[in-house]
Amino acid sequence: MSNIIDMREYREIDPILRKGDLVRVIEYQSPYAHCIDGLTGIVIEILETMGSDSEAPGQASWLTVAIPDEEGWVEYDLSLGNVVRILGVEADELRRYQVGSV
C-alpha cells in the first residue's frame, strides 16, 4: 500500500525524557536491590527536572522507572545518569511495532 505513510519515520525525537519513554539502566548500584544494570523499563514518573538556568531546562534529573520481573513490575527511583533512553528501531521493536513494514 504505497499511499500509507508511517508516521514513525517523520516524527521528531523530543530531546526531553518524558513519562512513557523506554530506558535501559546503566551503572546502578544499590545495597537494597538486585542488579538491574542492562534491564529495560518504562518511565512512569518524573520526580525532578533541571532548572531554567541549566544546560537542559526541563530535562528530567530524577525519575521513577518500572521494570518487569517474574512477579510483576518493580519501581526504581533513578537519576538521569543511571539510564539511557531507547529510541528508533529498538524502541519500536520493544513496543512490538512491525519494524520495516506498514
> What are the tens digits of pLDDT across the range 16-38?
888 989 999 987 777 666 688 88
Q: Which cell is 20 given? A: 512513557
Whole-angstrom distance, CA of residue 92 vs CA of residue 98 = 8
Place of cell 545495597: 31
In whole numbers, what is the pLDDT of the chain averaged over residues? 79
What is the value of pTM for the model shown?
A: 0.70
Q: Which cell is 19 given? A: 513519562
The span from the first CA to the last CA of the chain, in angstroms, equals 8
SS3 state of residue 66: strand
Q: Which cell is 46 given? A: 518524573
What structural domains does the chain harbor? 7-94 (2.30.30.30)
Q: Is the pLDDT of residue 95 over 70?
A: no
